[in-house]
Structure 1
Amino acid sequence: MTEQTETVPPAHDVARDIVLEARGVSKHFRVRHNGGDLLARRQRAVHAVDDVSLQLRRGTVTALVGESGSGKSTVARLLAQLYPLTGGEIHLAGKAVKAGSGRSFRRYVRQVQLIFQDPFASLNPVHTVRYHLARSLKIHGRAGSGEAELEAGLTALLERVQLTPPQRFLDKFPHELSGGQRQRVAIARALGADPQVLLADEPVSMLDVSIRLGVLNLLKDLKDRLHLAILYITHDIASARYFADTTLVMYAGRIVEGGDSETVTQHPAHPYTQLLIASAPDPDRAVAPEEQQESGSGEPPSLIAPPAGCRFHPRCPRAMERCRTELPPRFDLDDGQWAACWLYADTTVTTEATGTKEATDK
């Protein structure tokens, strides 16, 4: 068993850099309940994710930010193929991925690994660290041909996530580790597949504040050394600025803004992003007076019967009449930033389905 290879980034090619891509992905969950009209029950569904498109590139971190219930974790589970798609496509290395099981699913998860939010819940409490890591290496064919190679592989994984000396941790049970150590074991288990993509679903939200930065720095180091594509899911937009290259903002099942993390977090365009920023003050953020908006109020909408038009309009302090009836497309702004908001209807529209652009004058 050889240590995980540190890859060298190829010459820059935007198309080749895209490892995993979601194209118009949707996920609706049927609502089950007793009583009422049978036809109505069949038609009721939770619109957890609607028409979400994103690209994960080698050697970069993409943050997916939003409040609880916005659909972020559902997106991660769709990309991990834990849920079947209601609509849209997932492409791995430029090829459409078909839902499957058995060998096809195993081939997919060798490339795409999910790190769960709660490391204690994701590790079997009756098994040791050795068991968890050895099982990962064996399932993905990286255990080698003998005990010596397996031990070398286990040691390499623990060293990779900075749990040293490895012999101190191999025979411990999850309850004997701290929260940060458990999450590092979960990351090591994901690395056992030698993946190209890590889907990190709020990987530090269950950890003590004092050790969150260490885990984020570990992921950043892995991204640089192994040239991984990382999807970082979080409700903390401030950490997205620190950790991610690109930030996407999600609200009620839809992505409403995206762009370079520094631009999105320092100069938010969508009223919802402005609300998120206002709820997490940053003393280093320079917000011009004209960018300061009245905070939105109210609760997120029901995803069983989402509002027409822009889903944020019931809470938006700048909502217009067309926001209540027309779903805003994506409007391109400066420096690669974009926002799905009618406030920018005089700019250039990017049609996400085709990638074409057309000028508007509204």
Structure 2
Amino acid sequence: MTLPDTSSPPAPPNTEVVLEADGLTKHFAVRRSGRQAMTRAPRVVHAVDDVSLTLRRGRVTALVGESGSGKSTVARLLAQLYPRTGGDIRLHGESVTVRGGRRFRAYNRRVQMIFQDPFASLNPVHTVRYHLTRALRIHGHGGRGAEQLQAALVELLGRVQLTPAERYLDKFPHELSGGQRQRVAIARALAADPEALLADEPVSMLDVSIRLGVLNLLRDLKERLRLAILYITHDIASARYFADDTLVMYAGRMVEGGDSETVTQRPAHPYTQLLIASAPDPDRILGSAFSLDAEETDNGEPPSLINPPAGCRFHPRCPHAMDVCRTELPPRFTVLSDRQQQDPDGDHWAACWLFAPEGAAR
């Protein structure tokens, strides 16, 4: 296995599109039994509806939302672990649908997933050496001789800063800390030499003290290997720190997107404002600039995805809801800043009728 030189300076930014989703949709059938199965119409859970996103080489895109919003389902759809109900997935512009076998393995060489719980994603009866060796051999990067394989293993662990490698190769997952296990999981993903990483809440199961180290590792890998990374999280503060772009998801739909600094510092959609207002912040004083006050942040629960509300799915909780919000699904509207008044083609958008241009239906 020949790995890129991680001691060289970071590669320059590149906007090449690696992986994209267009109108991605996933509905799960609700199982019925007995008499209900014969007398009632089938129902589905609208887990993901009409999600579009783009992952670019050398950039991190954060997908933010509360539990149950559909973030992990999006990652599994992009990894082709779930068959999609609708929409398209394109790798370097080419539509891809795989159902296992060689095509699935070829796709996974280029698109790898890092799971939330590193203890659950590693087999507890096998050593680090086994996990990494198997990944290298499956993807054809292990070399033919024992010396080549050993060199590849040492280099993989060096990439994720587990050195000396001999200290970790023959350990079992339970003998490692949570952060070390997640680094092994990252090394296993890198064994395929991928172009895109789908990181499903990769630090949420880790101690606070070691989360930053893992995020810094992913950032370093992004810069040196020019990876396209999807970073799924419920922590919008970490999205600002780690991601170049941030997308906000609510009840299966995208509600806001743009560069991370803009989305986290000047949130447009009322749901994004709610997320930020709910995050602990010792520097925030009572009565901050956000439009949601203390009473407005306590306004109900997410809707049922079996019977989602008509119109905007956030309208039952939104303090700014209008009549149109209850009946019409809002498209993406460009959010104009003072600097964009003459140039409305900015990349900050919100799916909210509050930002509809003058003359649109209200």
1:341 and 2:356 equivalent? Answer: no
1:188 maps onto 2:187 in alignment:
yes
| Residue number in structure 1 paired with 2:93 | 94
Match of 1:240 in 2: 239
Would the alpha carbon gap of residues 219 and 322 (structure 1) be closer, same or farther in structure 2, given more than 3 Å must change? same
RMSD across aligned C-alpha pairs, in angstroms? 2.0
1:304 aligned partner: 306
Determine the C-alpha separation between the residues in 2 that align with 1:61 and 1:44. Answer: 36
Other-structure match for 1:168: 167
Matched to 1:342, the amino acid is W
Counterpart contact for 1:65–1:237, Cα < 8 Å: yes
Match for residue 332 of structure 1? 334
Partner residue in 2 for 1:59:
58
Q: Which amino acid aligns with 2:299?
A: S
- How far residue 302 of structure 1 moved from its aligned partner, in angstroms, is 0.5
The alpha-carbon deviation at position 47 of structure 1 amounts to: 0.5
The C-alpha deviation readout for 1:108-129, integer Å capped at 9, x for no partner, is: 0000000000000000000000
- The answer (yes or no) to whether the contact 2:11–2:223 under 8 Å persists in 1 is no
What does 1:261-272 correspond to in 2, within 5 Å?
261-272=260-271
CA contact (8 A) 2:62 2:246 kept: yes
Whole-Å Cα distance in 2 between the matches of residues 109 and 4 of structure 1? Answer: 19
How far apart, in 1, do the equivalents of 2:335 and 2:99 lie? 39
Identity over aligned pairs, percent: 72
1:124/1:149 CA distance change after superposition, 3 Å: same
Partner of 1:353: none
TM-score in terms of structure 1 length: 0.91
User: Which whole-Å CA distance do the structure 1 matches of 2:155 and 2:39 have between them?
Assistant: 55
Q: TM-score, normalised by structure 2?
A: 0.91
Deviation digits for residues 206-259 of structure 1, max 9, x if unmatched? Answer: 000000000000000000000000000000000000000000000000010000
* 1:33 aligned partner, one-letter code: R
**Aligned partners of 1:9, 1:94: CA distance in 2, in Å?**
23
* Deviation by residue 1:101-145 (Cα, 9 ceiling, x = unmatched): 211101100000000000000000000000000000000000011
Q: Residues 40, 344 of structure 1: CA spacing in aligned structure 2 closer, same or farther, 3 A cutoff? A: farther
| Aligned-pair CA distance for 1:282 | 3.6
Letter in 2 for 1:237: I
Aligned residue number for residue 3 of structure 2: 3
Question: SS state of the match for residue 278, structure 1?
Answer: helix
Q: Is the 8 A contact 2:278 2:297 kept in 1?
A: no
CA shift digits 1:69-88 (9 cap, x unpaired): 00000000000000000000
Structure 1 CA distance for aligned equivalents of residues 354 and 13 of structure 2: 39
Change (3 A) 1:40 1:82: farther
Ranges in structure 2 where 5+ consecutive residues have no aligned partner:
337-345
| 3-state SS of paired residue (1:307) | coil
Kept in 2, the 8 Å contact 1:25–1:49? The answer is: yes
Aligned residues: 348
Distance 1:296 1:55, change over 3 A: farther
Amino acid at match of 1:319: A
- 1:325-345 CA deviation, whole Å, 9 max, x = no partner? 110110011342100001111
Q: Which residue of structure 2 lines up, in the alignment, with residue 108 of structure 1?
A: 107
Give ranges in structure 1 of 5+ residues lacking alignment: 348-358
Q: Do the aligned residues in 2 keep the contact of 1:64 with 1:250 (CA within 8 Å)? A: yes
- Native 8 Å contact 1:346 1:361 kept in 2: no
**Range with greater deviation from structure 2 (116-125 or 33-42):** 33-42
